[in-house]
A and B are shown apart, each in its own frame.
Chain A
Amino acid sequence: MFDEIDPRSPTPLYDQIASRVRVAVASGDFRPGESLPSVRGLATRLRVNPATVVQAYRALEQEGFVEMRQGAGTYVREVAEERRGRERDEQALRMVRDLLADAARFGIGADAIASALRQELRSEAP
């Protein structure tokens, strides 16, 4: 899950790490009470500055997704369903933005994307 951190992206590394946790909590992949990887472990695995991981975890703590327990690690908190729903919606929005930006690079307009989306959803419908 954490392995595709991209140092090239304009999104700061700590934010990339934090988003992945946000999305995982929103989708239920991370359950309340579960512990996140240790700062040391994650930093070593991703080969990033440990301060970056700390920054990510702190940001998540401020947003109410996790709590950092002194000496014991970082644990996922109970997040209200509506909050998780909002996070999922925001993630969907982010994915669409990325898709549209990619498309624009190839000269593909929003209309073409929209009709492609409709076509795809129709074929998926039961």
Chain B
Amino acid sequence: MSNAIETRDLVYRAGTTFEITDLALNVPTGSIYGFLGPNGSGKTTTIRLLLGLLRPVRGRIQVVGRQVPREAHLMLARTGYVPERPHLYPTLTIDEAMRFHAAFYPTWDTKWADELLVTFRLDRSRRVGKMSKGETGKFMMLLALAQRPELLILDEPTDGLDPVVRREVLMALIEYVAERQATVFISSHLVHELERFCNWVGVLDNGRLVAELPMHAFKNGIKRLRVHHPPSTPGDTPFVLLSREAGDGLSAGEVWVVRGWQATMSQYFDGIGAQLREVVDLDLEEGFVEMLRTFRHPVEVHS
């Protein structure tokens, strides 16, 4: 099957507000899919819907080939889940929690689980409820990985973790992906750490999927141009002009944010008597911010 996760016309409502509207997700098998969105955009709700923890009002959900929520338990056997907030029984020790979890997953790898315990420096006799945020984060990743799933659904797995722990968790995850070629669906509002790692991006804003495309297309798509002597009306541009603002005090001119930029388009500026001073590549976070800004307030560029 080509998509590890697929949704169609997904709608979810809590109370009177529609939290998710017409969501059509396509997560290719074997991809590392970054699910981006501001806080409150509905990322956790979407994940809960994918796992069958919430029932949609309308729409189709298919995860690793299984219909959710009808065949949810069959899907869950092959899916590792790290929730936003810890959900384990707090009075159990790490050792007991591991044995409990292992009993439900036939694919559990005890040897690797023990190795990860050592790598993460976790103490078997520690109570789950008494662990620090860092230890909890590492332990939840351990449980999801040792299950050897074909799909990992991670809801802000590194949120609130210090940089050292964050790195440890990511490295264990990458190691697993290198070995198993699993699909990873990772939601985060910490865009920086996703950009080295993900090869697909889905952007959620206010319950709607704003964009879904390969990472390199997303990053290269949007650029910031430093333009001197810009025209008052740009006319027909070969690129899509998303926004234009006065430059910061350092230099005269404007900063234009454009989509679909190609190097040959610099000729356009010669033609209108303006000077293209600089083409700035945006990192994922900036690209994401610009995309959201223009999606929320589309700019009228042709007068």
Cα distance, A7 to B167, chains bound together (Å): 17
Q: Is the CB of B281 within 8 A of A47?
A: no
User: Is the beta-carbon distance between A44 and B196 smaller than 8 angstroms?
Assistant: no
Residues of B within 8 A of A49 (CB): 32, 174, 177, 196-199
Pick from A5, A39, A51: contact of B199, CB below 8 A.
A51
B278 at the interface (CB under 8 A from A): yes
> Which A28-77 residues have a C-beta within 8 angstroms of B?
39-40, 43-44, 46-52
Cβ-based interface call for B284 (8 A):
yes
- Asked if B283 and A48 make an inter-chain contact with CB atoms under 8 angstroms apart, the answer reads no
Contact B178 A48 (CB under 8 A): no
| A13 and B174 contact, CB distance less than 8 A | no
Residues on B with beta carbons closer than 8 Å to the beta carbon of A8: 281-283
A12-B216, A47-B167, A105-B277 known; A7 vs B195 contact (CB < 8 Å): yes
Cβ < 8 Å to A, chain B residues 167-200: 167, 170-171, 174-175, 177-179, 193, 195-199
Asked if B59 lies at the interface with its beta carbon under 8 angstroms from chain A, I say no
A36 smallest CB distance to B (angstroms): 14
The reply on A115 being an interface residue by CB < 8 A is no
Does A9 belong to the interface (CB within 8 Å)?
yes
Chain B residues near A126 (CB-CB < 8 A): none
Closest Cβ neighbor of A13 among chain B residues: B196
Q: Does B30 contact A (CB under 8 A)?
A: yes
Determine the residue in chain B with the shortest Cβ distance to A55: B199
From A5, A10, A39, B281 is in contact (CB under 8 Å) with A10
* Chain A residues closer than 8 Å to B216, beta-carbon distance: 12
A43–chain B nearest beta-carbon distance, Å: 5
Contact present for A44 and B281 (CB under 8 Å): no
Find chain B residues with CB under 8 A from A43 CB.
Answer: 174-175, 177-178
Q: How far is the CA of A48 from the CA of B195 in the complex (A)?
A: 8
Could you tell me the distance between the alpha carbons of A47 and B178 in the complex, rounded to whole angstroms?
A: 11
Minimum Cβ distance to chain A for residue B140 (Å): 19
Residues of B66-101 contacting chain A, CB below 8 A: none
Let me know if B177 and A7 touch, CB within 8 A. no
**Is B26 part of the binding interface, using a Cβ–Cβ cutoff of 8 Å?**
no
Complex CA–CA separation, A46 to B175 (angstroms): 11
Q: Look across to chain A and name the residue whose beta carbon is closest to the beta carbon of B220.
A: A10
* Max chain B Cβ within 10 angstroms of own Cβ: one of A9, A46, A51: A51
Q: Find chain A residues with CB under 8 A from B195 CB.
A: 7
Residues of B within 8 A of A47 (CB): 167, 170-171, 174, 193, 196-197
CB distance from B127 to the nearest CB of A (A): 30
CA distance A47 to B175 in the complex (A): 10
CA distance A40 to B193 in the complex (A): 18
Taken together as a complex, chains A and B put the C-alpha atoms of A8 and B105 apart, in Å, by 40
Interface 1/0 per residue, A1-36 and B, CB below 8 Å: 000010111101100000000000000000000000
Q: Are B178 and A39 in contact (CB under 8 A)?
A: yes
Nearest-neighbour CB distance to chain B for A58, whole angstroms, equals 15
Would A50 and B196 count as touching, CB distance under 8 A?
Answer: no
List A residues 101-116 near B (Cβ within 8 Å).
Answer: 105
In the complex, what residues of A have CB within 8 A of residue B170's CB?
47
**Interfacial residues of chain B within 12-37, with CB under 8 A of chain A in the complex:** 30, 32
Q: How far is the CB of B225 from chain A (nearest CB, A)?
A: 13
Q: Which residues of A contact B278 (CB under 8 A)?
A: 105
Q: Which chain A residues border B171 with CB–CB below 8 Å?
A: 44, 47
Q: How far is the CA of A7 from the CA of B193 in the complex (A)?
A: 10
Minimal Cβ-Cβ distance residue in B for A54: B178
A51 to B177, CA, bound (A): 9
Please state if B281 and A40 are interface contacts (CB–CB under 8 Å). no
For A7, A52, A105, the residue with the greatest tally of chain B CB atoms inside 10 Å of its CB is A7
User: Could you write out 20 A-B pairs with CB less than 8 Å apart?
Assistant: A7-B195, A7-B219, A7-B284, A8-B283, A9-B281, A13-B196, A39-B178, A40-B174, A40-B175, A43-B177, A47-B170, A47-B171, A48-B196, A48-B197, A49-B174, A49-B177, A50-B174, A50-B177, A51-B32, A52-B199
Top 5 nearest A-B pairs (CB, nearest first) are: A50-B178, A40-B178, A8-B283, A7-B195, A44-B171
